[in-house]
Amino acid sequence: MSESESSAGYLDMDLLRFTTAGSVDDGKSTLIGRLLYDSKAIFEDQLEAMEKSSKSRGDENVNLALLTDGLRSEREQGITIDVAYRYFATPKRKFIIADTPGHIQYTRNMVTGASTANLAILLVDARKGVIEQTCRHAFIANLLRIQHIVVCVNKMDLVDWSEETYNGIVEDFKKFASRLDNIVEITFIPVSALLGDNVVDKSENMPWYQGPSMLYHLETVYIGADENHIEARMPVQWVIRPHSDKWHDFRGFAGRIAGGVFKPGDAVKVMPSGFESTIKAIHTMDGELEEAYAPMSVAITLNDEIDISRGDMLVKPNNAPEPRQDVDAMICWFSSTKKLAGRGKYILRHTTKEVKAIVTEVKYKVNINTLHKVEDDLIFNHNDIGRISLRTSAPLIADSYKTNRISGSFILIDEQTNETVAAGMII
Amino acid sequence: MAKDYTITHLKQLESEAIYILRETAAQFEKPVLLFSGGKDSIVMAYLAKKAFWPAKLPFPLLHVDTGHNFPETMEFRDKFVEEIGAELHVASVQKAIDEGKVTEETGPYASRNGLQTVALLEGLEEGQYDAALGGGRRDEEKARAKERFFSHRDAFGQWDPKNQRPELWNIFNGRKQHGEHFRVFPLSNWTEMDIWQYIKLENIELPNLYFSHERECFVRNGVVMGITDFMELLPEEKANVKKMTVRFRTIGDATCTGAALSTAATLDDIIDEVAAARQTERGTRADDKRSETAMEDRKKEGYF
């Protein structure tokens, strides 16, 4: 039994969410399969089912993609069509993998997987080097503000473990990445997912590489600074009113902290009304807290009776966001049946608030292979990314996505079908 | 150095589940929490208590009762519901059979598992619930790995895996047409180990079926089954009934929930056992073995 499984270690673990994008060809499934298998997250019966399934499909090796491609249509077509979430843990961390297909027609799945990730693994086939797909994945990771990137140069066994080949890829990627402003840290790791070199253990075939193995990096990368702990934000989800004798006057504003630190006694401002009060207490069923920060779920009581409801936001008076009805945003269009056009009207959901929104301007689309702006074709089809302006029916208490992923993001919903048609990042 | 504002992964999962439970209460008119008496639904109901504390749960619990329960499950259910101060409704498979709405399978392999779906959909319709909270986890089974937190179901209760709404950040779209409803899974990101560690951390009480005990059992298709009044045994099975030391890793219909040979009598024993286990917990459920995509098929029809 390893240490992760003893309770003491388990209770101290933190959580890293990461995303991988790629196709079967570049060894993504092999890499994930190896991480899962070596950390004992794949079980015997799953492996058995996979072997059985691979054999009946005529595959020579066990196809690890069968582990994630659980839907019948995916198995039939041999492709991943959706985001699959996978879990594993080591003595240091628990990991949630959002595994997404890499092909251009699944851009929206990559965007979805990236939206909650702290880190992205980009796979590069050492024989092919940095290709269009690599740049596309890096662009999306940057757009969704994933701060930590790992460029995994895979199939090093097929280039004779060549340091020169590896260095060439590192240089090519760095040149491209200089344009990506949200990425805080890029780590390059040469691996052979198939043979296991530098996946869990350091490779003996590449003595020239001094860096960490993939797993060691995932276990130790520092993500404590990823959340915004400066600007206090708590979107109100629900008002807790017990109506009981014991809690007669209790009015708790329940929500999940989206930024900053709240403490009892702190001055707070309620947006959009602008009323101010101070925090009386921060409640949980386990007792009152001395401070609360992202991503905790709490209930806050105030010292003054103020009318507050779902959709309002608790902030601090010294760094309150300005309410605004005009927003510019980068969006990714999701709908395969409807297109975005100028003057389109949608329901916009931002934090816990829902408003109506009208598209006032379509500025440009991005060709995500060349990263060039497209200004002559402004119709958004599914998977298109670009910049638009919106006017909302009521003010949004929003930050830029750059400063806060929660208060800076929204989705657009089609009024007729209720389908989520776009994801937006406020500029 | 600045203070390190991080919380442990179990606290993150707890916070996420509480957020989902509050979103469910806020976005739907009449949610309900599906309570099976199993450990996942116990943890979910416990988290619901945390989410709305010090107020009571703003939604009732619904138990889909196959009528094939181990007696311990029912005792525990009633005690638990009383303790958390929730309201309990029961959707009965027996009632659906008695009313001729469904036909029961017969023979030794008879299972009421498929009928649960009918009773569930009826229960939801009768209560006019528009969202049903379930304890499903993505690590349980491959068809669940792509399940959403807010899972849209059409007016027939069916799941369309190819047409799911994307979920980004922590924005959940619960909008629906009249007659449609949602399944909501607050424990999506939990693993079996997380559940056990959390039960230990929070000192949550569980039915004693989860802990090792002696029971009359027989073996079918490699799965150890407990003897109950509801099950017909094949002659060779009858001949091989014996007392075994077992525990249950999931608690469902007694006719299709396999037991595991185990001496794990405490939470710590179970945690050690789960850590060492090389079989996923659904591996002991006979109902998933029917075909490779059995779970997806049942989910499409409206199963949990």
What are the structural domains, with CATH classification, of chain A?
3-220 (3.40.50.300), 233-319 (2.40.30.10), 324-426 (2.40.30.10)
Q: Are strands B223-226 and B258-261 parallel, antiparallel or unpaired?
A: antiparallel
Which range among A49-63, A256-270, A400-414, B110-124 shows the weakest confidence by mean pLDDT? A49-63
Type of residue at B153: R
> DSSP labels for B47-64?
HHHHHHTTSPPSS-EEEE
For A246-266, letters b (16+ CB in 10 Å) and e give: eeeebbbbbbbbbbbbbebeb
Mean pLDDT of A228-246: 93
Question: Worst-scoring range by mean pLDDT, B103-112, B118-127, B193-202?
Answer: B103-112
B193 and A CB contact within 8 Å? yes
d(CA A236, CA A314): 7
> How far A204 CA lies from chain B's nearest CA (Å)?
30
Contacts of A293 in chain B (CB under 8 A): 5
Q: Which residue of A has its CA nearest to B276?
A: A1
Tokens of A410: 């929204």
pLDDT at A54: 64
Mean pLDDT of all residues in A381-409: 95
The pLDDT of residue A24 is 59
For chain B, say whether A230 makes contact (Cβ under 8 Å): no
User: Are B170 and A237 an interchain contact pair (Cβ–Cβ within 8 Å)?
Assistant: no
Phi and psi of B302, rounded to 5°? 115, 5
Give the SS3 label for residue A261: strand
State how far the Cα of B77 lies from the Cα of B71, in Å rounded to an integer.
Answer: 10
- Determine the residue type at B16: E
Longest dimension (CA), chain B: 72
Rg (CA), chain A: 24
Summarised one tens digit per residue, pLDDT across range A78-90 is 445 678 888 888 8
**Cα–Cα distance between B109 and B181 in angstroms, integer?**
32
| Residue A5 confidence class, pLDDT cut points 50, 70, 90 | very low
Each residue of B10-26: pLDDT tens digit?
999 999 999 999 999 99
Q: Which of residues 315-354 of A touch B (CB under 8 A)?
A: 334, 347, 349-352
CB contact (8 A) between residue A43 and residue B283 = yes
Average pLDDT over residues A310-315: 97
Radius of gyration of chain B (CA): 19
Residues of A whose CB is below 8 A from B11: 296
pLDDT digits (tens, 9 = 90+) for B26-52: 999 999 999 988 899 999 999 999 999
DSSP string, A290-312: S-EETT-EEEEEESS-----TT-
State which amino acid sits at residue A161.
W
3-state SS, residue B42: helix
Mean of the pLDDT values across residues A32-46? Answer: 71
Do residues A80 and A65 lie in contact, with contact meaning Cβ atoms separated by under 8 Å? yes
pLDDT at A12: 80
On whether any CB of chain A is under 8 Å from the CB of B95, the answer is no
Global pTM? Answer: 0.90
Q: How far does Cα A323 stand from its chain's mean position?
A: 26
Q: Which residues of B touch A399 (CB under 8 A)?
A: none
Superfamily of domain B9-194+293-300: HUPs (3.40.50.620)
What is the model's pLDDT at position A398? 96
Answer with the residue of higher pLDDT: A397 or B74.
A397
What amino acid is encoded at B185 in this protein?
F
The number of CA neighbours under 13 Å toward the Cβ of B214 is 2
pLDDT level of residue A116 (50, 70, 90 thresholds): very high
Residue with tokens 């992205």: A120
Among candidate residues B7, B295, B38, B3, the one with its CA nearest the CA of residue B187: B38
Write down the mean pLDDT value for chain A: 88
Q: Please name the member of A68, A227, A238 whose beta carbon is closest to the beta carbon of B22.
A: A238
Inter-chain CB proximity B142 and A294 less than 8 Å: no
Q: Where are the domains of chain B?
A: 9-194+293-300, 207-289
Confidence of residue B170 (pLDDT cuts 50, 70, 90): very high
Q: Give chain B's mean pLDDT.
A: 84
pLDDT higher than threshold 60 for residue A71: no
Q: Is A395 strand, coil or helix?
A: strand
| pLDDT greater at residue A11 or residue B287 | A11
B119: helix, strand or coil: helix
In this prediction, residues A161-169 reach a mean pLDDT of 97
- Distance between CA A28 and CA B222 in Å, rounded? 35
Beta pairing, strands A297-302 & A353-367: unpaired
pLDDT of residue A47: 62
Task: Note if the bond before A272 is cis, omega within 30 degrees.
Answer: yes
Asked if the Cβ–Cβ distance from B171 to A349 is below 8 Å, we say yes
Our CA-based measurement puts residue A373 at a distance from the nearest CA of chain B, in whole angstroms, of: 25
> B193–A247: do the CB atoms touch at under 8 Å?
no
Mean pLDDT of B243-265: 84
Q: Return residues 273-292 of A near B (CB < 8 Å).
A: 283-286
Q: Is B141 on the interface with A (CB under 8 A)?
A: yes
What is the enclosing helix (H) or strand (E) of B114? helix B113-126
CB of B245 within 8 Å of a chain A CB? The answer is no
Please give the Cα distance from A97 to A85 (Å, whole number): 6
CB B247 within 8 A of CB B210: yes
